[in-house]
Amino acid sequence: MPSDNEAKGIVFLPLGATHDIGASCHYLEIEGTGILLDAGMDPDLEGQDALPDLSPVTGDPTRFVDHVIVSHAHHDHLGSLPYILKQFPHARVHMTPATRRLADFLLPASARLQRRRLLEGSSLSDPVFDEDEVEAVSYMYEQHEIETVFDVTGVRARAPLQAVLHYSGHILGAAGVEVFCEEGPEARNVFYTSDTNVQNQTIIPGGHYPESVDIMILESTMGSNGFAELVSRRSEERRLGESIARVLERGGSVLLPVFALGRAQEILALLDRYRRRRVIDPDVPIYTAGSMRAVADLYDQTRYTTPRLNEDFEVFGVEQRRLPRSQSAKRDAIREKGIFVVASGMMFERTISNEMARMMVENEKHGVFFVGFARDDSPGGMLLHAAEREEERVTLDPVQGEQHLRCEVDRFMLSGHSNRRDLLKLVEQLKPEHVILVHGESKSIEWMADNIRFFNPSVNVHIPSRGQPVRL
């Protein structure tokens, strides 16, 4: 039997999560060139467990990584880059200039966090890279502007290969990746949507896409969310504004758990609009914390050089206070009424949003409002489900135990990901021969597969498994 490399055709091999939102990292082989699409880390795991499994590539002498293309700076797409470059020191690394600036801030912060958790004893995992290693590899990053073609031909390539980054609308710097070959039997293009949003958000406009695609690697995050397609962003924005106003009027505080990169800045822009339009009382303080403040700074610095709906808007122009560190000061701030925009979006244990939710959840005056994606098995997902089922108790952190669930809990469809109808329309628009579904829980991927097959019967739909090559 020939090895995968000797056989002709394009090989797609996921090394990280496929039936889940974990570490995104996909090996793509075209005409003898090996490319890694993304170098993510699972946000819910630590140490080696959080990394993609590189063994299907490192364990096969016919496979090698010539290039790593990073779609955007979210941890599940970027987080293991320094580790991966230790394994493939000759690989060239490509990303947009804005993603590079975010990476230069986020990866050293990740190295420090891994070390701190080990020293504090809150993690038993050895750090997978340190700050010196992050700095050493950062000199290898090559930056490419959106819609600019660059060469990605590998050393053992049988045909030249090129790539281009398309603006994906998800967060600052985010791009879909198109790789194409114009000569030989594999004269086709592959388009990796990564995380994508076709619609305008508050700061960031909707994505741009190639005209047509032969092989499409499509994200499926919102595939199981039937609600998101029924509501417009505008009506959800209105509903969130009214909900926040209602909580504040009854003397409560509002917790908005967000991802520090992307959701936090979009929500601050929205809160600013509510204040200007007097939807909410402009005197109620907005609190922010941690890395989202540094990320906001990068959003502001790049506002004339990356796509914006309003380039004059500055995230730091929104009056905000730094969240106090001590528990007692946080409790005082909650008691005195405030809007808390804090990470993590899924309320993982040992994050500020989890700590604050535990302080607020037993008081019916307060509101906890989700504005992004929360995995079912995350504390945020569990709180949402408990509230939907009107359960009386909830556990946000097993170490801290069960609590009464009395506060208002709701979710608003203001995600940075396209809803599933928009994803189906994108398939229709790009007319691929093959669609490979990634980046979604199993039920999301199944819904996407069923509906793509129903509406586009000529499309070959693939549901890959980690470590299993798909040959196209």
- The residues binding Zn ion (CB under 5 A) are 74, 76, 195
| Cβ 42 to Zn ion shortest distance, Å | 11
| Cβ 216 to Zn ion shortest distance, Å | 17
| Of 42 and 272, CB closest to Zn ion | 42
| Of 44 and 195, CB closest to Zn ion | 195
| Of 193 and 288, CB closest to Zn ion | 193
CB 160 within 8 A of CB 168: no
| Cβ 245 to Zn ion shortest distance, Å | 30
Return d(Cα 295, Cα 260) in angstroms, integer: 7
Q: Copy the structure tokens of residue 332.
A: 């005082």
| Of 19 and 74, CB closest to Zn ion | 74
| Of 76 and 178, CB closest to Zn ion | 76
| Cβ 381 to Zn ion shortest distance, Å | 16
Return d(Cα 394, Cα 385) in angstroms, integer: 10
| Cβ 63 to Zn ion shortest distance, Å | 25
| Of 298 and 396, CB closest to Zn ion | 298
| Cβ 359 to Zn ion shortest distance, Å | 28
| Of 386 and 435, CB closest to Zn ion | 435
At residue 380's C-alpha, the angle toward residues 376 and 384, to 5°, is 75
| Of 74 and 434, CB closest to Zn ion | 74
**What string of H, E and C letters represents the secondary structure of the chain?**
CCCCCCCCCCEEEECCCCCCCCCCCEEEEECCEEEEECCCCCCCCCHHHHCCCCHHHHCCCCCCCCEEECCCCCHHHHCCHHHHHHHCCCCEEEECHHHHHHHHHHHHHHHHHHHHHHHHCCCCCCCCCCHHHHHHHHCCEEECCCCCCEECCCCCCCCCCEEEEEECCCCCCCEEEEEECCCCCCCCEEEEEECCCCCCCCCCCCCCCCCCCCEEEEECCCCCCCCCCCCCHHHHHHHHHHHHHHHHHCCCCEEEECCCCCHHHHHHHHHHHHHHCCCCCCCCCEEECCHHHHHHHHHHHCCCCCCCCCCCCCHHHCCCEECCCCHHHHHHHHHCCCEEEECCCCCCCCCHHHHHHHHHCCCCCCEEEECCCCCCCCHHHHHHHHHHCCCCEEECCCCCCEEECCCEEEECCCCCCCCHHHHHHHHHHHCCCEEEEECCCHHHHHHHHHHHHHHCCCCEEECCCCCCCEEC
| Of 333 and 435, CB closest to Zn ion | 435
Return d(Cα 441, Cα 461) in angstroms, integer: 16
Q: Copy the structure tokens of residue 44.
A: 């819910």
| Cβ 273 to Zn ion shortest distance, Å | 23
| Cβ 77 to Zn ion shortest distance, Å | 6
| Of 63 and 74, CB closest to Zn ion | 74
| Cβ 159 to Zn ion shortest distance, Å | 31
| Cβ 74 to Zn ion shortest distance, Å | 4
Q: Copy the structure tokens of residue 380.
A: 């945020």
| Of 78 and 472, CB closest to Zn ion | 78
* Phi and psi angles of residue 349, each rounded to the nearest 5 degrees, phi first: -55, 150
Q: Copy the structure tokens of residue 221.
A: 């995050």
| Cβ 184 to Zn ion shortest distance, Å | 33
